[in-house]
Amino acid sequence: NAGVTQTPKFQVLKTGQSMTLQCAQDMNHNSMYWYRQDPGMGLRLIYYSASEGTTDKGEVPNGYNVSRLNKREFSLRLESAAPSQTSVYFCASMLERDRGRRNQPQHFGDGTRLSIL
């Protein structure tokens, strides 16, 4: 039972390079999320996808793009990496978001540690 799988686990980029972070979940979850985690800042939402075919901006979307490739996969792209994007990136998924009532908790991958020089 893999849960949420993120690749790569580590990456070093130079300023201006582009890169795509991959995320896949095998729990048949509808919603998927991308967060970044920085010391003292906690988890901040970059983008999320409530269902296949939809994406929405979170708290810190600038400099990123996302693609919900299918129900399982949600990728995050840095078009022109900047040192301020050095962080640990986490993907999460959630079974469903019931608009009227009960939310399910999110399940996280183990992260991608990204350094931009």
Q: Which residues would be at the binding site for other proteins (CB under 8 A)?
A: 4, 33, 40-43, 45, 48, 50, 56, 58, 90, 97, 102-103, 105-111, 113
Contact indicator for 90, 34 with CB cutoff of 8 Å: yes
Rounded to a whole number of angstroms, the minimum distance from the CB of residue 100 to other proteins is: 11
Which amino acid, residue 86? T
Q: Number of helices (H) and strands (E) in the chain: give both, helices first.
A: 0, 11
Contact indicator for 114, 86 with CB cutoff of 8 Å: yes
Rounded to a whole number of angstroms, the minimum distance from the CB of residue 80 to other proteins is: 27
Contact indicator for 17, 81 with CB cutoff of 8 Å: yes
Closer residue to other proteins (CB): 11 or 17: 11
Closer residue to other proteins (CB): 14 or 102: 102
Closer residue to other proteins (CB): 12 or 82: 12
User: Other CB atoms closer than 10 Å to residue 16's CB: what's the count?
Assistant: 10
Closer residue to other proteins (CB): 40 or 53: 40
